[in-house]
Structure 1
Amino acid sequence: MNINIEDRKINIWWALLPLVVMITAMILTIIVYEGEPHIPLIIGTGAAALVAWKQGYKWKEIEEMMFRGIRLALPAVLIIMLVGLTIGAWIGGGIVATMIYFGLKVIAPSIFLVTITIICGIVALTVGSSWATMGTIGVAGMGIGISMGIPAPMVAGAVISGAYFGDKMSPLSDTTNLAAGLTDTDLFTHIKHMLFTTVPGLLIALSVFAYLGKDFGKDSIESASISQTITDMQANFVISPYLLLVPLLVIVLVAFKIPAIPAIAVGVIMGFFAQIIVQGDSVASALDVLQNGYAIDTSNEMVSELFNRGGLMSMMYTVSMTIVAMTFGGILEYSGMLRAMMDQLLKIVKTTGSLIASTLGACFLTNATCSEQYISIVVPSRMFASVYKEKGLQSKNLSRSLEDGGTLTSVFIPWNTCGVFIYSTLGVHAFAYAPYAILNLAVPMIALFYAFTGITIAKIDKNEAGTAEKEETA
C-alpha cells in the first residue's frame, strides 16, 4: 500500500501528544509500579494511531505504517534470536566457562576494565556488530569481571564502550554503511571522519577505566572469591583450551568476509557439538539448552548467576519489545508526526554549531521516541541532508553526526531495542550502566565541542561545488 505523507502537515502539538502519553505511561509503569516497558509503548502506539486517524489516515494505512516499522526491525530480530542460541550453546559447550577460566588466570583485576574494552573493540571491528560482540565476548567478560569483584554496571559499561567503538569503525557494520549510504558519503571517508570524535572518546574511556580499576584485586577476599569460582567451574564443566578455537573460528570466518550471521551460526553449531562431545551431555540436553537456556545447580550464587541463562526463549522478551517499539515508531515516522518534530528543530538552526547540535538532538529524540537506532539514522538523514548542503558542509559531517548522536546514544534508552538487548544479554539495566558507558557519553560531547569551535568540520570547496552543480543540472 502506498502511504503519501507529503501533503499531510501535522500540527506539532498533535505530533507530540503520543510521545507525551507514552512517556507518562512509561514513568508510571517503570518508576511507580516497577513494571515493564511493553505496555506503555502499546499505549503510546494506541495514542499515535488515534492521532493518525484524526489526521485523515484510514485504518489500513495505519496498519501498514506499523507493518513497515516491524519490517525494518526484522534483521535485528534475527540477530537477537541468534545471540540467544549462541549464549546457550557456548555456555552448554563449556566455551564461556573456558573463556572465564583463562580470563581469571591471565588478566589482572586492576587492568581488566581496560583489557575487556580493547578486546571487545577488536572483536566488534572484525565482526562488524556490537550486538554479536556483547552476546559472545561480552557475556564472558561479564563473568570474568563479576568474579573479580568488579560491579556489574562497570563491567557492562566497559563492554559497551569497546563494542560500540569497534562497531562504529568497522566497514562491515550495518549502521556504519547505513549512515554513509543515506548521506551519499564514501564509506571509508565516513570512517576516517569518525576517527576525530571516536578515537578521543575511546582514549577518555580507557583512561577512566584505568582509574576505576586501580583498586580492584588488592583485597584478599576478592582473591578467595576468584579461586572459589574457578573451583566451581571446574566441578561443573570440562575446561579445555581447545574450546577457545570456537570463538576464534567465528572471528576468522568474519575476517575472511563471511557475513556475521552465518559465521555466528557456525559458532552455535560448534557449541552444540561441544556440549555433546566435550561436556558429555545428551543430544536431548543440548537441544533443550538451545531452546530454554542452560541450567546449573550450585551453591555458589555467582556461578549460578553467570551460567543460568541463554537459549532462544530468553530472547523472546527482547523480540516482543522490539516488535512493540517498532509499531510505535512506524506510526510516528510514516504518519508525518516525527517529521513535524524535526521541522521544529530545524527552525532553530542558524549556525554550523546549532545545525550539528540539532542533528545530535534529533537522533537522540528519535531513539527515545521510535526506540530503534536504525530509525535514528534514517529519519534525521532525510531531514538534514539539504540543510548541510545549503550551509556549505560536506556530507561526511552529517554522516558522522548521525552515528555520534544516533548509534551511540541508543544504549541509554531503556525501551530502545539496544537498551533492551543489552539488559537481556548482559543482565544490567540501562540506568545502571549509563554512567560507565564512557565512550557513548564522551563522543557526542566531543562532537558538540567540534561543532561550535569548527574543529574537523569539513566545508564544501567552492570549485568542487560548482562542478557538482553543473553535473547535477546536466
Structure 2
Amino acid sequence: MKKEMSFWLAIIPLLVMITVMAITIVVLEQGPHIPLIIGTVTAALVAWFSGFKWKDIEEAMYKGIRLALPAVVIIMLVGLTIGAWIGGGVVATMIYYGLKMITPSLFLLSIAVICAVVSLAIGSSWSTMGTIGVAGMGIGISMGIPAPMIAGAIISGAYFGDKMSPLSDTTNLASGLTNTDLFVHIRHMLYTTIPGFVIALAVYAYLGRNFGKSGVNTEDIEKTIGVLQDSFVVSPFLLIVPLLVIVLVARKVPAIPALIVGIILGFGAQVFIQHDSFADAVSALQSGYVIETGNTMVDDLFSRGGLDSMMYTVSMTIVAMTFGGILEHTGMLQAIVNQILKVTKTAKGLVASTVVSCFATNASCSEQYISVVVPSRMYANAYKEKGLHSKNLSRALEDGGTLTSVFIPWNTCGVFILGTLGVHAFEYAPYAVLNFIVPIISIIYAFTGFTITKLTETEMKAMEQEDATLSS
C-alpha cells in the first residue's frame, strides 16, 4: 500500500532540479537536459522510498511522455516546414514583401497584430510562430531590430490568439476541465487579456519609435533585398503556401495534416520553382537548408530548419515529461497544492494561488498542458467551497498556465521557441509583454475582487443536486 506523499518529500525533487538547473545554465552555461534528468532520478528515488514500486514509477514516466507525443509530432513537422519553406523560397518571399511594405517604426506593433489575427483564426500559437513568426524574425532582423524584441512581439501576438480562439486546444481544455461553457470562458478572459494586449501594443509602439527611418540603415535593407532576389525566385504566388495552411487550419483541419500540406507545397516549390534537385530538397527536409551568399545576416537566417534541427527540442520534451510524469502520478504535485490550500483562506487568495500554481507547474513539469490539467483538478472543489463560479478557475488556469509557459527555458514551449525563432527564453522574456502582464492583471483582480464572479443561490443548489446525483 502506497503511503500518501508528504509535502516535505514532494518538494525535494523540485528543489534539487531548480538548484542544479540554476548552476548548469547560469554558471556552466550548458543546456537544461542534465538538470532535468537529475530531477527525474531524484523524484524516482523519493517515490521509491515512499513505497512506490519501480513498475509504477516507470509507468508514471511513460504517462508523462505519452501526454507530450502530440507536441513532439508538431515539433518535428515544424522543423520540416521551416526547411521546406526556406528551400522553396516561401520565407524569402514573405521577408522580401515585408521589407518592402512594413516600416521599421511600426514593425513590432504590426507583427504582434498579424500574429494575433493569424493565431486567433487557427487557434495555434506554435503553428503561427513556426510560419509567420519565422518570416517576421527575418524581416525584423533585416531592419536592424534586436531579435529578442521581435521574438517578444511575435510571442505576445501568437499567444493572444491562442488564448482567445475557440479553436485553441488550451482554451477548450480549460473550459472543459472546469465544466465552463466555452464562450462564457472566453468572454471572462476578455477582462484580463484585452487590457494586457493593449499594454503590449503600447510598449511595442514605444519601442518601435527608435527604429524609424532616421535610425535604420536603408542601404542594409536594400542590400538584403538584393541578396534575396539573387538567391531565390521571389514570387507573390509563393504566398499561397502559408495562406493555404492558415485557411486549412481556420476551417478546422487539424494542425498535423495542414502542416503536411505546407511541407509538400514547400518541397514542390524548391524543386519546380527554385529549380533545386530532389536531393537538395530532401536534404533541406532532413538537415535543413544551407546557403552561402557572403551576407552574414542572410546566411545565418536561411541556413536552418530540417528534422535534425528539432531533435534537441524533441529530446528536451521527452526528458521534461519524464520528470513531470513522476511528479504528477505519484502525488507529489497534489501534496504541494494541499499545503497551499491550507494557507489560502480567502476566495481572493485562492484565485491568486491558482495563477502562481500554474506558473510553478510550468516550471516543475515543463509542459503547458499539465499546467492547465493538474491545477484544474486540484482546485475545482476549493472554488466550489468558496462559492466561486467555475469561470474564475478557467480564466486563472489560462492566465497563469497558458501564458507563462514561454518563460521557462526547459518547458516545451520555451524549447520550441528557441528551436523555431532562435531566441532564448531569458532573452525574449522582457519583451513578451502580454505573457507577463496578464498574470499580473489577474492577480490584481483577485485581490480587488474586480470581475471575480460568485455563484448565485440557484447555481449553488443546482451544483449540490448534481454532486448528489453523481455520488449516488
| TM-score of the aligned structures, taking structure 2 as reference length | 0.98
Match of 1:252 among 247, 252, 261: 247
Alignment partner, residue 473 of structure 1: 468
Q: Find the aligned partners of 1:255 and 1:354 in 2 and give their Cα distance.
A: 38
Alignment partner, residue 269 of structure 1: 264
* Alignment CA distance shift 1:287-1:11 (3 Å): same
Q: Find the aligned partners of 2:378 and 2:437 in 1 and give their Cα distance.
A: 25
Match of 1:436 among 431, 436, 451: 431
Q: Find the aligned partners of 2:414 and 2:54 in 1 and give their Cα distance.
A: 31
The AA in structure 1 aligned to 2:378 is M
Q: Find out whether 1:135 has 2:127 as its counterpart.
A: no
Alignment partner, residue 237 of structure 2: 242
Q: How far does the alpha carbon of each residue in 1:205-224 deviate from its partner, in whole angstroms, 9 at most, with x for none?
A: 00000000012033365211
The AA in structure 2 aligned to 1:151 is P
Q: Find the aligned partners of 2:58 and 2:436 in 1 and give their Cα distance.
A: 36
Q: Percent identity?
A: 69
Q: Is the 8 A contact 1:128 1:260 kept in 2?
A: no
Shift of residue 286 of structure 1? 0.6
Q: Find out whether 1:281 has 2:276 as its counterpart.
A: yes
Q: Say which is worse superposed, 440-449 or 219-228, in terms of deviation.
A: 219-228
> How many corresponding residue pairs?
469
Q: Say which is worse superposed, 341-350 or 214-223, in terms of deviation.
A: 214-223
Q: Find the aligned partners of 1:464 and 1:311 in 2 and give their Cα distance.
A: 53
Q: Find out whether 1:381 has 2:382 as its counterpart.
A: no
Q: How far does the alpha carbon of each residue in 1:13-59 deviate from its partner, in whole angstroms, 9 at most, with x for none?
A: 21111111111211221111111110110011011110010001111
Shift of residue 467 of structure 1? 3.1
Match of 1:409 among 379, 404, 413: 404
Q: Is the 8 A contact 1:85 1:310 kept in 2?
A: yes
Shift of residue 385 of structure 1? 0.2
Q: Find the aligned partners of 1:472 and 1:430 in 2 and give their Cα distance.
A: 43
Q: Find the aligned partners of 2:159 and 2:226 in 1 and give their Cα distance.
A: 33
Q: Is the 8 A contact 2:36 2:320 kept in 1?
A: yes
Q: C-alpha root-mean-square deviation of aligned residues, in Å?
A: 1.1
Shift of residue 471 of structure 1? 4.4
Q: Is the 8 A contact 1:175 1:407 kept in 2?
A: yes
Q: Secondary structure at the match of 1:434?
A: helix
Match of 1:371 among 350, 366, 370: 366
Alignment partner, residue 84 of structure 1: 79
Q: Secondary structure at the match of 1:229?
A: helix
Q: Name structure 2 gaps, 5 residues minimum.
A: none
Alignment partner, residue 445 of structure 1: 440
Shift of residue 125 of structure 1? 1.0
Q: Find out whether 1:331 has 2:326 as its counterpart.
A: yes
Q: Find out whether 1:210 has 2:205 as its counterpart.
A: yes
Q: Is the 8 A contact 1:217 1:223 kept in 2?
A: no
Q: Find the aligned partners of 2:384 and 2:298 in 1 and give their Cα distance.
A: 55
Q: Find the aligned partners of 2:55 and 2:403 in 1 and give their Cα distance.
A: 35
Match of 1:344 among 339, 360, 364: 339
Alignment partner, residue 50 of structure 1: 45
Alignment partner, residue 168 of structure 1: 163
Q: Name structure 1 gaps, 5 residues minimum.
A: none
The AA in structure 2 aligned to 1:218 is K
Q: Say which is worse superposed, 178-187 or 459-468, in terms of deviation.
A: 459-468
Instruction: Flag as ranges the 4+ runs of structure 1 deviating above 6 A.
Output: none
Q: Is the 8 A contact 1:292 1:312 kept in 2?
A: yes
Q: Secondary structure at the match of 2:183?
A: helix
Q: Find out whether 1:297 has 2:283 as its counterpart.
A: no
Q: Find the aligned partners of 2:246 and 2:138 in 1 and give their Cα distance.
A: 20
Q: Secondary structure at the match of 2:211?
A: coil
The AA in structure 2 aligned to 1:140 is A
Q: Is the 8 A contact 1:116 1:162 kept in 2?
A: yes
Shift of residue 299 of structure 1? 1.3
Q: Find out whether 1:354 has 2:317 as its counterpart.
A: no
Q: How far does the alpha carbon of each residue in 1:274-314 deviate from its partner, in whole angstroms, 9 at most, with x for none?
A: 00111001111111101111000121111011101100110
The AA in structure 1 aligned to 2:211 is F
Q: Find out whether 1:116 has 2:111 as its counterpart.
A: yes
Q: Say which is worse superposed, 72-81 or 250-259, in terms of deviation.
A: 250-259
Alignment partner, residue 29 of structure 1: 24
Shift of residue 174 of structure 1? 0.9
